[in-house]
Amino acid sequence: MTYTYKNIKVNINVQGEGSPILLLHGWGCSNEIFRNIQQVLSQNYKTFNFDFPGFGASDEPETVWGTEEYTAMVEQFVKENNIEQPALIGHSFGGRISIIFASRNKVSRVVLVDAAGIKPKRPFKYYWKVYTFKMLKWLCNTFLPRAKALAIIDRRRKGAGSSDYNNASPKMRAILSKVVNEDLTHLLTKIKAPTLLFWGNQDTATPLSDAKTMERLIPDAGLVVAHGTGHFSFIENAGLFTAVMKNFFNIK
């Protein structure tokens, strides 16, 4: 189905019947990443598998959104479609949205998979790279012709930026820069629904220490560690993830 939110067309794959589950993918992905588990869950549930604005078949936001704006879009969709107390499954960036949504709305259950939301402790080298890049941009845009300035900035960005940043459009780069440092730790205690954390012990993007912090702060939380997997633990060990989801959602 196509959902229109503030003139933005949002693609949502809907399957199954029953109580609702929202599937919220991570940065740089689309709803394709959840297709296999969606087929399992849709045996017993009505599943809504989102392409977030800027990803998959959905339009880009018209302005630079933060996690709040993405969450507000999901909340409006839920309200307009009379969806009551959905379950949430959020990976990485989708975990950010799940945390905010669950902290202020009634949900039945929450699954956070290698979820973002805790601001990482970064070394001095990281901040040196960020602020010298900002200074370079200012100097180039102030003193050089536009074409030359853009060429220098783009060359520096490709050499220093992450793959997520380099692969994004200019607007999505601005959104990534906005959301990546948002700290949602203060919201974790407000999640009252049963919460399952599924994590790769070799995840370097959102380390296992983040999962342990979430487990400690969310009142009703349990952690499953997928050993030998990284940031996409649910794909790297799909068998374990499927078994855990079937158990958590009572699917025989």
What per-residue confidence (pLDDT) applies to 146? 75
For residue 250, what are the CA distances in angstroms to 39, 43, 44, 172?
A: 15, 11, 9, 38
Stretch (H or E) spanning 56: none
Tell me the per-residue pLDDT of 73-119, one tens digit each, with 9 for 90 and over: 999 999 999 999 999 999 999 999 999 999 999 999 999 999 999 98
Return the C-alpha torsion angle 241, 242, 243, 245, nearest 10. Answer: 80
Distance of alpha carbon 80 from alpha carbon 65, whole angstroms: 21
What per-residue confidence (pLDDT) applies to 165? 54
For residue 48, what are the CA distances in angstroms to 15, 81, 95?
A: 7, 11, 15
What per-residue confidence (pLDDT) applies to 181? 83
What per-residue confidence (pLDDT) applies to 177? 86
pLDDT at 204 over 80: yes
Q: How much of the chain exceeds pLDDT 70, in percent?
A: 83
pLDDT at 145 over 90: no
Q: Indicate the range of 70-74, 122-126, 223-227 predicted with least confidence.
A: 122-126
What per-residue confidence (pLDDT) applies to 126? 47
How crowded is residue 63: how many other Cβ atoms within 10 Å of its Cβ? 10
Q: Indicate the range of 33-42, 47-56, 164-173, 231-240 predicted with least confidence.
A: 164-173
Tell me the per-residue pLDDT of 175-187, one tens digit each, with 9 for 90 and over: 998 898 899 999 9
pLDDT at 123 over 60: no
Cα angle at 109 between 106 and 111, to 5 degrees? 125
Return the C-alpha torsion angle 40, 42, 47, 53, nearest 10. Answer: 50
Distance of alpha carbon 94 from alpha carbon 42, whole angstroms: 19
- Reported as a pLDDT band with limits 50, 70 and 90, residue 125 is low
- Reported as a pLDDT band with limits 50, 70 and 90, residue 163 is low
Average pLDDT over all residues of the chain: 90
Distance of alpha carbon 25 from alpha carbon 51, whole angstroms: 7
What per-residue confidence (pLDDT) applies to 195? 98
pLDDT at 53 over 90: yes
What per-residue confidence (pLDDT) applies to 12? 98
For residue 229, what are the CA distances in angstroms to 103, 199, 237?
A: 28, 8, 7
pLDDT at 162 over 60: no
Q: Indicate the range of 131-135, 153-157, 191-195 predicted with least confidence.
A: 131-135
